[in-house]
Amino acid sequence: MLFTLGKLIVKGYGLLLAMAVGGLVFANLFGLIAFFVLAQEWVSDRLQASGGTESVLWWMHCGWFVGAGLALFGTVTQNQKIKKRSFQVSVDHEDEPETPAPKKWKKKRRTKPSGILSSIGVFSLFGGFLGLMLGGSLLLFWFSLTYSPFAPAGWASSVSVEQRQEPGSGQTKSMMTTNHPVAFYLFGTPIVLGITAGALAGGIGAAMGKVEDIE
């Protein structure tokens, strides 16, 4: 039951992440196209005369919807193909006669109780890594949301694209940056919680003798 629920949560989170990436990519693509089109003299003159200053943002919102929709359609279609393939494989295996699997002799490993400090260090690193992955995905969600029409006022204006030079290569790379506190908390909070939870789990587990090291 818990495994099935966890599997559904992972699939749902992966679907939302794919939609966020698709929306972010297509929002930037549509915004770039709109910027070059609206930069033409005959278009910019009309915009200045009519006072239309949010045309690029409107195109970015349209791009976000297109990218999120394409990601949703592609993910659902891919999952349906995988289900069909797994069903065909299971049917083929049912038709084949069952043969007894050879027994495998497992070699016993010698273990010893882990030290509290070493266990805390290992579990803290693992928890911090999981928190980093979660924080990075939440930050990606936030950047994608800023390009959507659902973003609160002030989020989009806090995002900027900067050209930064990669150390040692001399090449410049475009990077999205922001100074908004919500983005900072979304990225930093899972890391802190992961390190703290890992340290507690490692310390308590080692103190109770539940954590062992392989000799």
The pLDDT of residue 84: 76
Between CA 181 and CA 146 the distance in angstroms is: 14
DSSP string covering 15-43, please? HHHHHHHHHHHHHHHHHHHHHHHHTSHHH
The pLDDT of residue 80: 83
Tens of pLDDT, residue by residue, the chain (215 residues): 667 788 888 888 989 999 999 999 999 898 888 877 776 654 555 554 444 446 778 888 999 999 999 999 998 888 888 877 766 655 555 555 555 656 665 566 666 677 788 888 889 999 999 999 999 999 999 999 998 888 887 788 788 877 776 666 667 777 778 888 999 999 999 999 999 999 999 888 888 877 776 65
Between CA 23 and CA 151 the distance in angstroms is: 13
CB 214 within 8 A of CB 121: no
The pLDDT of residue 41: 53
The pLDDT of residue 52: 46
Between CA 162 and CA 52 the distance in angstroms is: 26
The pLDDT of residue 135: 94
CB 17 within 8 A of CB 136: no
Beta-carbon count within 10 A of 37 CB = 13
- Its pTM stands at 0.77
The pLDDT of residue 8: 85
